[in-house]
Structure 1
Amino acid sequence: MLYVNTLNNNAAALYEQIKRWVSKGKYTTTPIALINKLSLSDSYLSFPQMRRGYLAPTISSINKRTDLSVYIQEIRRNPANKNSKVVKLIFWIKRKNENKLISKESDL
């Protein structure tokens, strides 16, 4: 199976964090708490930068290379305003179908 050893360090750290919550189906945190927990660069204090430079590529890598499927939901201070500050992140997590993983590995 494809596991953490196929991920870069940043993706592996997030994978390990969210894998603990797979039985619950979700992991909820704040952007600042995630930065602190994973010891990310201060450049990610800007959420748009965090989304572009860390979350999007990391989640894509986790979805392609591991046994988990992850989707992020951004909760904003004012949900009616798309430009309002993101105050919470919900990582929706589920295990992939084992048969699909085996067929993807054989394609490598």
Structure 2
Amino acid sequence: MRSPCRSAFVRDPSGAVVKDPNLEVQERLELLFEAFLKVRTVAKVMREFNDRDLKLPRRDRHGDPRWTRATTSAVAAILKNPAYAGASSTDGYDCTNHRTEDR
């Protein structure tokens, strides 16, 4: 059994990892990166999200989406995760260990 993917990714019917088709998820993560570029600290991003009552998309252990309050650890995990880096392809991305196959 394959592990669930991170917030912005899902598995398609063939099992390949693809960007989550949920536009709200995509837009919220884009907003998180834009906020970080603007305020430059994880704590300020968390504060901005919580002040605006913006929840972060997460997946539970079954892979089902849920929306949770922003924490510094959740914001940092998203910002540091190589799977979220730019518009790069997720080819070779493994949801289990967050590493590409070619490393």
Structure ranking higher in helix proportion: 1
Q: RCO (CA 8 Å, sep 6+): is it higher in 1 or 2?
A: 1
Larger radius of gyration: 1
TM-score under structure 1 length normalisation: 0.31
TM-score under structure 2 length normalisation: 0.32
